[in-house]
Structure 1
Amino acid sequence: MGNEEDQQQNQTTTTTTETPKPKPRFLCLHGFRTSGEILKKQVEKWPQSVLEMMDLVFVDAPFPSLGKSDVQGIFDPPYYEWFQFNKEFTEYKNFDECLAYIEECMIKYGPIDGLLGFSQGAILSAALLGLQAKGVALTKVPKIKFLIIVGGAKFREPSVAEKAYSSPIQCPSLHFLGETDFLKQYGIELLDSFVDPLVINHPKGHTIPRIDDKCLPIMLSFIERIQEAVARKEE
């Protein structure tokens, strides 16, 4: 009798145990002249209900800051930058080295499902899907499947822009647009390159915003959507 009761208990336990949903892994690309640690502190302002649904990997950009950081006095150094650019943002230096470095990070911390980027990291993240699709970047890693863009914009240099945005970007994407962000108009223009982008508008400027009660359902539904996509892939 004892064995039968044990078997029944085991069967009950097996039946009621719910399989945890997979956590999509995001490589997180910080803003210009900040760091992975700074972006981590900024993102940790988000609700725990959001953070516990994702596996976030924070890395530093490959180049030490060559000038003053806008977060100096707010966040401690060191500060890094992904690549260098001219005043008009039409010429880039060390861009290919940057792309190779991101690919190395994706290999090291992979498999990576998506990218989360802020500012310079957001501009990179949004462009990388198109560059990967054209076979000019991230050729050694699986296809990027999801994007979270905070304070993003398009590249202006023609040879990069032509490859990055020539075809509609169809992966699920979530875009944060700040009401007083100096890049807001460019972030709106970036939306045109995406198929069915999801947008969260917030009242702040060029920053990682907090997730308020109005935005939280949008954020949770987006993550649940990509969780389901990751789960289907694993089946």
Structure 2
Amino acid sequence: MEIQIQRKPRFLCLHGFRTSADILEKQLRRWPEVVLGRLDLVFLDAPYPSRGKSDVEGFYDPPYYEWFQFSQDYAEFYNFEECLAFIEEYMVKHGPFDGLLGFSQGAILSAALPGMQKHGVALTKVSKIKFVIILAGGKFGGCLFGMPKLASNAFSSPVKCPSLHIIGEADFLKEPGTELLEAFEEPFVIHHPKGHTIARLDEKGLKTMLSFIEKIEKIQLQQE
């Protein structure tokens, strides 16, 4: 009797501002194997070397990278289109990917990309993003961040792909991250007491995480 082994949901993981793929991978090891063992995670360094001091200096070794640059008031963005092209090129060469996982700057990108893909302004050469995991993210065009021109319609209608959002109570992005929830249909949400970091999962958070994984596994099984 032939036993079919289900493929794990495959996520492209986008790290935070002025950190790296290696740092994000180390940070995610705070999650238990019961979570990490059910996901296929691929980590990518952003295209631009850090242009200033990194907040993780002294905690994690360089090099550090950034996805795009922005003005001090978060109103203007630079190298945004080039960043999207860089991500798409990687996905074409190393895909397919089922979803995106992002932390901080990588989470802000990950949250906007499904809507941008839907409107045909990003990721037009790759398969549809089916799932997103948003860690300490925020919303373009929201209470803190301006709106890059290419992302102007990213949240013009509810984002329907299943999403998991992890929000820190002491995070400076708590309000933008909470605001982002309104842009997604039926988001899964985990709250933790810490700041701008990837926290360990408590019992309640782990239960929510496993429920999300179960949902995306079922969707993937139906589609394959």
Aligned residues: 219
Measured after TM superposition, the shift of residue 21 of structure 1 is 2.9
Between the aligned partners of 2:158 and 2:204, the Cα distance in structure 1 is 29
Q: Which letter does structure 1 place at the counterpart of 2:105?
A: Q
Q: Is the 8 A contact 1:174 1:198 kept in 2?
A: yes
Q: Which runs of 4+ in 1 moved over 4 A?
A: none
Corresponding position: 1:151 with 2:136: yes
Separation in 2, partners of 1:158, 1:75: 30
> In 2, Cα distance between the equivalents of 1:119 and 1:139?
24
Deviations 1:7-66 (A, max 9, x none): xxxxxxx3xx75333200000000000000000000111000000100000010000000
1:199 counterpart residue number = 189
State the shift of 1:109 in Å.
1.9
The correspondence for 2:176, drawn from 179, 186, 190, is 186
Alignment deviations for residues 88-138 of structure 1 (CA, whole Å, 9 cap, x no partner): 111011000000011012112211000000000000000001111110000
Paired position in structure 2 for 1:176: 166
Measure, in 1, the Cα distance between the counterparts of 2:161 and 2:223: 15
User: Aligned-pair distance for 1:87?
Assistant: 0.8
1:44 aligns with 2:44: no
Per-residue Cα deviation, 1:142-190 (whole angstroms, up to 9, x for no partner): 1100000000101222634521111110000000010100000011111
In 1, distance between residues paired with 2:3 and 2:174?
A: 42
Question: RMSD over aligned Cα, in angstroms?
Answer: 1.2
- Aligned positions of 1:81-92 closer than 5 A: 81-92=66-77
**Corresponding residue for residue 115 of structure 1:** 100
**1:125 maps to 2:110:** yes
Match of residue 54 from structure 2: 69
Which residues in structure 2 correspond to 1:210-229 (within 5 Å)? 210-229=200-219
Structure 1, residues 209-230: CA drift from partner, whole Å, max 9, x if none? 1112221111011111111111
Q: Determine the structure 2 residue equivalent to 1:138.
A: 123
* Alignment partners' CA distance in 1, 2:118 and 2:198: 28
Whether contact under 8 Å (1:122, 1:150) holds in the other structure is: yes
Match of 2:17?
32
Which ranges in structure 2 are unaligned for 5 or more consecutive residues?
Answer: 141-145
What is the alpha-carbon distance in structure 2 between the residues aligned to residue 160 and residue 139 of structure 1? 13
Q: What 5-or-longer segments of structure 1 have no aligned partner? A: 1-13
Q: Distance in 2 between matches of 1:19 and 1:39?
A: 32
Which residue in the other structure is 2:90 paired with?
A: 105
TM-score between both structures, scaled by the size of structure 2? 0.95
For 2:189, give the aligned amino acid: V
1:18–1:216 distance in 2 versus 1, CA, 3 Å:
farther
Per the alignment, in what secondary structure is the counterpart of residue 153 of structure 2? helix
What is the rounded CA distance, in whole Å, between the counterparts of 2:216 and 2:17 in structure 1? Answer: 28
Distance 1:210 1:19 in 2: 32
SS in 2 for 1:141: coil
User: Within 2, Cα distance between the matches of 1:99 and 1:137?
Assistant: 7
Q: Residue type matched to 1:198 in 2?
A: F
Larger radius of gyration: 1
What's the secondary structure of 2:93's corresponding residue? helix
